[in-house]
Amino acid sequence: MPNIPGKKTTASNVILVTTAMLSFISFWRASAIVLCDIASTVYYIGGIAEHAIGKAAPWFVLGVMLFSYTVRSLYIESCSMFVRGGVYRVVKEAMGGTLAKLSVSALMFDYVLTGPISAVSAGQYMVGLLNTSFPNFHIHWHLPPDIFAVLFAIAITVYFWWENIKGVPESSDKALKIMVMTTIMAVLVIAWSLITLWSRGFHWPPFAPVFNKESLGWLHPFKDNIKPLGVIGITIAFGHSLLAMSGEESLAQVYREIEAPKLKNLEIAGFIVFLYSMLLTSLVTFFAIMIIPDAVRMSQYSDNLISGLTMYFVGPMQLKLLFQAFVVFVGFLILSGAVNTSIIGSNGVMNRLGEDGILPEFLRHPHPRFGTSHRLINVTVGLQLLTIILCRGNIYVLGEAYAFGVIWSFVFKALAVLILRYKDKTPREFRVPLNFKIKGVDLPVGLSLIFLVLFFLASANLVTKQVATVSGSIFTLVFFIIFVVSERINERKHKKKAVPEIAGHIGHVDRVNLNQMELLTPEACRCNKPKRIVVAIRGPRVLIHLEKILHEIDPDDTDVIVLTSKVAKGYQLEGDVSQPLPEEEELFTHIIAIAEKVGRSVTLLSVPTNDPYYIMARTAYDLKAQELVLGKSEKFSPELQMEEIAVAWGSVNEESRPLKIRIIWDGMELKEDL
């Protein structure tokens, strides 16, 4: 029987555990975050692709966008295996730590460049609008485009740095609003373009790409042997258009945050992303070529192609100018959103590296107020700001370099998922289609084809994109060396301190903040839904009941409060309560992993006690919970546990409130109403 204390627990003993890892978003929000990255390329891909392969660019952009559907499948399969299934985790599982570090170095190059290319592009659009508008207002100014773009990019990056320091949920909210605006713009651009084409007539862009010295790179000496519509020519042209699908990795990064049912929601998000980006990016690129006259398209609008498109629509100039302002405003929003997504993605990747002991521990310290990994965000944003300054506003150079990180992270990912088909035979919720079995041997044809296409594109890029190959290789190598050195230092430090392995099978430890509460109330625990369930957790290995409850609840009307006990001799905490003990960190990590796996938020409490049943009842009472759920005790039978709770509930229930008790274990359940 519970040893009921003479004195009721004081609420100041309760600790609220906070972490950014416990917030989840809908597939719409997830799509919006990913689209802010992928769809934002519409603002610059047309200019970059045409610069490299001429007027055939729209066909290749369309081809890349259609191919992105298969890459989406690749990411969904990897997410079905790992909740935090970014490149690093998947490559590590398949090919080991060294290649994982190499692949993630390439990915970091991608993230570090996504922000700058988007922010600088936004600056180019803005300065383009201003310089076009000034004469209409009799202002005789001409802003230097590149300097303005750099300053503008810095401002955007600093703004999203602060947003991310504050936390992801607010950022996803902004991403959703940005995508609503982008959709309005896209509908208007497409409709107006169709009206323009209908009234003026049109010619389809040519199929054959036209290469120049820059776009052939090291292959230029062999230019006479390269047929534009031969295998090599097409591969090179696709390589130059590949940037159109940059941002697919965000799909894996955002998976952790997607609410239940996770994989289904990811599939929906993936499809929304595909359809949206395919229509927007390819159509706008086609329209730009078909509507903007050749004489001015690349000379005046290569860095702000959609602005150029608006200026050549049919209709009065004032209206077109107004619409251009709207396009620039939306561009500013979505490109800024891409900056945000790149910070979120990079932060996710670096967190994963930190969890794996590859980055120094201090970098993962949660922000004291917001719980975010602020130091990792600072590193990413610092590198992005440096890139913005170094590029001096040149979008083409940024685009060239950017493609390196994009394609090589795809190649590593595809190869890793392919290897895992043979290495890890556990059933997956989702598999890339086209799988055959011949004489007992699995033949993942679809997956193999994706890998081969990506590999050939990456190889073509390697020899044609000189800027990308040189800068990308240097950056990747530098990051790789940093990761290797940092990992060795961490290993040595851990060996010296004999730090125990606390992560268990999860493979990482989540950092959390502990906040001592003045008073245990629903409001203090941020529980504002009508139903409340307290789930008591004893240890990291007994969590079946939590998973079951998280699957059952309707998150719109139910708060789940997870109660863990801090072993204490008395009822007061002593010492520094702001830092969790290693065993507590392990427990919190397991709880967070379950919440992530299911995709449901929980409120995590830690309470010191020498009487767990009393503290369960007390917490349920103080939080006005309708249900108390616990796992099976190793010591007592479930019936005895029920009796313990009944006694404890009687000792605290001053208002005769009803309470449902559920004991859940191994597919069994005992429940009763008190």
Partner 1 sequence: MSLRKKWLRDKLVKERSVRKFDSPIQEMKPIFVSDHLSSKNICFFETACTQEFVLNELVSMLSFDDPVSISNAIREREESGSTVVTSGIAFPHARISGLGEIRAALGICSTGIQTNSEEDPIRLFFLFVSPAEDTRNHLRFLTSASSLFLKENFLHDLMELKTHEAVWLKILESEVKNKKVKVEMALSNA
Task: Give contact residues for partner 1 (rule: CB under 8 A).
Answer: 1-6, 531, 548, 551-554, 557-558, 626, 636-637, 639-640, 642-643, 646-651, 653, 655-661, 667-670, 672-674
- Separation CA 233–CA 226 (nearest Å): 6
Q: Which is nearer to partner 1, 547 or 585 (CB)?
A: 547
Task: Choose between 431 and 660: whose C-beta lies nearer to partner 1.
Answer: 660
Report yes or no: 175 and 409 within 8 Å, Cβ to Cβ. Answer: no
CA distance 345 to 340: 9
Contact residues for 343 (Cβ-Cβ < 8 A; gap 6+): 115, 160, 161, 164, 377, 380, 381, 384
Our CB check for partner 1 shows the closer of 496 and 569 to be 569
Distances (CA, A) of 481 to 430, 569, 653: 35, 48, 61
Nearer to partner 1, 576 or 673 (CB): 673
Nearer to partner 1, 505 or 635 (CB): 635
DSSP 396-448: HHHHHHHHHHHHHHHHHHHHHHHHHHHH--S--S---S-EEEETTEEEEHHHH
CB 480 within 8 A of CB 566: no
Token pair listed for 417? 């998922």
Nearer to partner 1, 197 or 647 (CB): 647
**DSSP SS3 for 571:** coil
* 453 vs 617 by CB, closer to partner 1: 617
Closest by alpha carbon to 516, among 559, 562, 560, 566? Answer: 566
The nearer residue to partner 1, 580 or 612, going by C-beta atoms, is 612
Residue 4 or 197: the one with the smaller Cβ distance to partner 1 is: 4
Q: Please give the Cα distance from 644 to 653 (Å, whole number).
A: 14
What residue has token string 């150079």? 397
The percent of the chain in helix, strand and coil, each rounded to the nearest 5, is 65, 10, 25
- Nearest distance in Å: CB 598, partner 1: 13
Under a CB-based contact definition with an 8 Å cutoff, are residues 613 and 644 in contact?
A: yes
Please state, in angstroms and rounded to a whole number, the distance separating the CA atoms of residues 375 and 358.
15
Name the phi and psi angles at 302, rounded to 5. Answer: -65, -30
Measured from the CB atom, is 47 or 638 closer to partner 1? 638
Q: Contact at 8 Å (CB) between 464 and 456?
A: no
Please, what is the minimum distance in Å from the beta carbon of residue 537 to partner 1?
19
Quote the least distance from Cβ 628 to partner 1, whole Å. 12
Shortest Å distance, C-beta 540 to partner 1: 23
Residues 649 and 618: their CA atoms lie apart, in Å, by: 7
The CB-of-616 to partner 1 minimum distance in angstroms stands at 14
- Provide the minimum distance between the beta carbon of 6 and partner 1 in the complex, in angstroms, as a whole number: 7
516/610 with CB nearer partner 1 = 610
Q: How far is the CB of 627 from partner 1 (least distance, A)?
A: 8
- Which of helix, strand or coil describes residue 535? strand
| Residue 535 CB, nearest approach to partner 1 (Å) | 14
Contact 273, 245 (CB under 8 A): no
Q: How far is the CB of 647 from partner 1 (least distance, A)?
A: 4
CB of 3 to partner 1, least distance (A): 6
Q: Taking CA 87 as the corner, what is the angle to CA 163 and CA 159, rounded to the nearest 5 degrees?
A: 15
* Residue 442 near residue 422, CB atoms below 8 Å: yes
Least separation, in Å, of the C-beta of 561 and partner 1?
Answer: 15
Distances (CA, A) of 260 to 24, 170, 211, 535: 9, 19, 48, 19
Q: Which residues contact 119 (CB under 8 A, 6 or more apart)?
A: 152, 153, 154, 156, 157, 335, 336, 339, 384, 388
In the bound state with partner 1, the residue whose beta carbon lies nearer, of 63 and 261, is 261
Nearer to partner 1, 6 or 316 (CB): 6
110 close to 246: Cβ distance less than 8 angstroms: yes
Closest contact distance (angstroms) between CB of 532 and partner 1 is: 10
Peptide linkage before 169 cis (omega within 30 of 0): no
Q: How far is the CB of 601 from partner 1 (least distance, A)?
A: 16
* CB of 283 or CB of 533, closer to partner 1: 533
Kind plus residue range of the DSSP H or E element containing 642: helix 638-652
Concatenate the DSSP letters of all residues of 359-399 into one string: S-GGGGPPPTTT-S-HHHHHHHHHHHHHHHHHHTT-HHHHH
Nearest distance from C-beta of residue 554 to partner 1, angstroms = 6
Whether the CA torsion 195, 201, 207, 212 is positive or negative: it is negative
To partner 1, the closest distance from the beta carbon of 597 in angstroms equals 17
Cβ nearer to partner 1, comparing 574 with 673: 673
Q: DSSP readout, 474-523?
A: HHHHHHHHHHHHHHHHHHHHHHHHT----SGGG------EEEE-SS--TT
Q: Which is nearer to partner 1, 6 or 221 (CB)?
A: 6
